[in-house]
Amino acid sequence: MSEPSFVSVTDLHKSFGDNHVLRGVNLQLDRAESLVILGGSGAGKSVFLSHLIGLVQADRGSVVIDGENWAELDRKQTYGLRKRFGMSFQEGALFDSMTVFDNIAFPLRRQARNMGQAEIKDRVAECLETVGMPGIAKLMPNELSGGMRRRVGFARAIALKPEILLFDEPTTGLDPIMTTVLGEVIIQMREQLKATTITITHDISSAKLIAGRVAMMFKGELVHQADRDEFFNCDDPIVRQFVDGKSQGPATEALIKR
Amino acid sequence: MLSAIGSRVLAFTESAGKFSLFTARALTALVRPPYEWRETMKQLERIGVASFPVVAVTCLFTGMVFTLQTYDGFARFQAESYVPGILGVALLRELAPVIGGLMMAGRVGSAMAAELGTMRVTRQIDAMEVMATDPLQYLVVPRMLATILMLPLLIAMGDLIGIWGGWYLISVVLDAPLPGFFDRVFDFLEPFDFWSGMIKSLFFGFVIATVGCYKGLTTRGGAEGVGTNTTNAVVYASLGILVSDFFLTRLLT
Ligand SMILES: Nc1ncnc2c1ncn2[C@@H]1O[C@H](COP(=O)(O)OP(=O)(O)O)[C@@H](O)[C@H]1O
Ligand SMILES: [Mg+2]
């Protein structure tokens, strides 16, 4: 590798008390690559995404984005680097005191200060259209179903057209059609905006759709990173068990222990 | 046994340190632009205007009860005419700021802890961080400003309402009008009686907002965590008010 990767994670460790969640994660990702992370519940996928965007600091190891190491940034630089990110949360994490419109407009108002009211309005409408829910801008988050909230969270993440997009289980609990639609949006973001996307999902078919590369989070490590076709055809027992959804195998023990 | 005490002392020192650090960071955020005017206006309304009825009723009844008690006692040596002056001093210097402050800790401090706590456990705080917005600046500073500004205002109005309550009690409920009741109150009072109450209210407002926001932002563990932290916010803010009241009184007498 001649020039350093866009996203570079080396030997990342994180514990919460006695719970050693991340145990040496390594990842190199170039610009405009699309990574899908698979893995059982509680494997540490969400915690890993929090490290990527600097919400949590590593116990050991480093997370470097485009040459900038989160651990070495001061407050201003931290927020500066975060402006290049968009993230949708597994929990949705919509501001429940604001309407859907204000939720999606939040990053636009906060970060694109030169944007006018009309422009913001257009962009919010466009984002809602993208996730298949035009005309719900005036509703409050508590008036939406779980799947709708998740899609609003997705819309909020892409509103600023950021360089790096992190999606934490964006399609869990959505119907198959919407799952494919969101998958296509992720592909679009990469192809049109040259965005780097990292998506956590349990849905194998959408993983096959959006992934350039796939990695498996297992026992706090990213095991078996490979290009899409290679990944889904490999015969690593852990990967095979997960992809084929079998109840017996090497991954079962790790899942049930948690 | 000894190690149990040791670890509790250690835990206390640690949380006291964390709280001081939080307070220092919040104060830095207070003076650092950008200023969130919209949010601050919203909080001024929610904290100030909406709390008026509670503070008004509290001060009204405090003034009436205090008057009833002192009137009864002073009547034993025919000193009823001193009641208005005593009422004014007690209310302005002590009763309105402390009892009003305690009510506000229950009303406003708990609301802050519950709201920010819910935002923390549902990851709305993280979402805000991700969108390059400092929760200290966007959430904490407006609440702090609003409470610090509004509590003295509310208590000043409460002072007047409490004094009126004393007058109402004597002239209407006891039907023993004291001529020149209000003149007696205001002749007896010195400006510093009023200002010392204002300084107290301002400080209590600061205590309520910092404790409420700190407890909210450090919430962990779902609905249960929100519950315990909300309770703790009220308990600690109230204790903070009562303890600091002693020291402030020492300073201001
Ligand atoms: N803030 C936290 N404090 C303590 N433990 C946490 C925290 N966040 C996550 N964990 C623990 O880390 C582990 C991995 O969680 P997570 O990354 O959410 O899993 P998943 O792969 O399903 O997204 C879990 O055991 C969880 O209990
Ligand atoms: Mg997760």
Contact B153/B55 with Cβ under 8 angstroms? no
The total of other beta-carbon atoms located within 10 Å of residue A124's CB is: 21
Rounded (10°) angle between helices A100-111 and A146-158? 20
Cα B134 to ligand 2 centroid, rounded to whole Å: 24
Atom of ligand 1 nearest to the CA of A17: 4
Contacts of A169 in chain B (CB under 8 A): none
Q: Measured between CB atoms, does A34 come within 8 Å of chain B?
A: no
Q: For residue A180, which of A217, A132, A233, A228 has the smallest C-alpha distance?
A: A132
Q: Is A37 in the pocket of ligand 1 (CB under 6 A)?
A: no
Q: Is A86 in the pocket of ligand 1 (CB under 6 A)?
A: no
Contact B144/B137 with Cβ under 8 angstroms? no
In this predicted complex, what is the ipTM?
0.91
Residue A164, beta-bridge partner list: A85, A196
Ion ligand 2: residues, CB < 5 A:
A 46, 90
Name the CA radius of gyration of chain B, rounded.
Answer: 21
Which tens digits make up the pLDDT trace of A30-39?
Answer: 998 999 999 8
The total of other beta-carbon atoms located within 10 Å of residue B121's CB is: 19
Helix (H, G, I), strand (E, B) or coil at A38: strand
Q: Which of B130, B133, B226 to mutate to test the interface with A (most CBs of A within 10 A)?
A: B130
Determine the Cα–Cα distance for residues B253 and B251; give it in Å rounded to an integer. Answer: 6
HSE on the CB side for B191, CA within 13 Å?
0
CB contact under 8 A, B132 and A111: yes
Is pLDDT at A243 greater than 70 in this prediction? Answer: yes
Entry pTM: 0.91
- pLDDT value for B158: 96
Query: Hey, what's the torsion of the CAs at B28, B29, B33, B38, to 10 degrees?
Result: -150
Is pLDDT at A209 greater than 50 in this prediction? Answer: yes
CA nearest ligand 1 atom 5, residue: A16
CA nearest ligand 1 atom 2, residue: A16
CB contact under 8 A, A85 and B129: no
Among the bound ligands, name the one nearest to the CA of residue B126. 1
Residues shown for chain B = 253
**Peptide bond before B152: cis, by omega within 30 degrees of 0?**
no
Q: Is A42 in the pocket of ligand 1 (CB under 6 A)?
A: yes
**Could you tell me which residue, A256 or A113, shows the higher pLDDT?**
A113
CA nearest ligand 1 atom 6, residue: A16
CB contact under 8 A, B126 and A55: yes
B94's CB contacts (< 8 A; 6+ apart) are B197, B245, B249
Surface-to-core class of residue A227, CB atoms within 10 Å of its CB (0-12 exposed, 13-18 middle, 19+ buried): exposed
Is pLDDT at A2 greater than 70 in this prediction? Answer: no
Average pLDDT over residues A236-252: 79
Rounded (10°) angle between helices B110-121 and B222-252? 140
- pLDDT value for B245: 95
The domain limits of chain A are 1-84+164-258, 92-161
Which tens digits make up the pLDDT trace of A80-92?
Answer: 999 999 999 998 8
CATH superfamily of A1-84+164-258: P-loop containing nucleotide triphosphate hydrolases (3.40.50.300)
Name the CA radius of gyration of chain A, rounded.
Answer: 18
Q: Is A15 left (phi over 0), alpha (psi -120 to 50) or beta?
A: beta
Contact B232/B207 with Cβ under 8 angstroms? no
- pLDDT value for A257: 55
Contacts of A50 in chain B (CB under 8 A): 126
Q: Which of A19, A50, A152, A167 to mutate to test the interface with B (most CBs of B within 10 A)?
A: A50
Q: For residue B159, which of B85, B86, B89 has the smallest C-alpha distance?
A: B89
Contacts of B143 in chain A (CB under 8 A): none
**Could you tell me which residue, A247 or A60, shows the higher pLDDT?**
A60
Determine the Cα–Cα distance for residues A94 and A140; give it in Å rounded to an integer. Answer: 10
Atom of ligand 1 nearest to the CA of A90: 23
Site to substitute for ligand 1 among A14, A18, A47, most atoms within 8 A of C-beta: A47
- pLDDT value for A14: 94
- pLDDT value for A1: 47
Determine the Cα–Cα distance for residues A75 and A80; give it in Å rounded to an integer. Answer: 9
- pLDDT value for A165: 93
Mean pLDDT by 10 residues, chain B (253 residues): 85 89 92 89 92 96 95 89 93 96 95 96 95 94 96 96 95 88 91 95 96 96 93 96 95 87
Structure confidence at residue A171 as a pLDDT band (50, 70, 90) = confident
Cα B26 to ligand 1 centroid, rounded to whole Å: 28
CB contact under 8 A, B124 and A96: yes
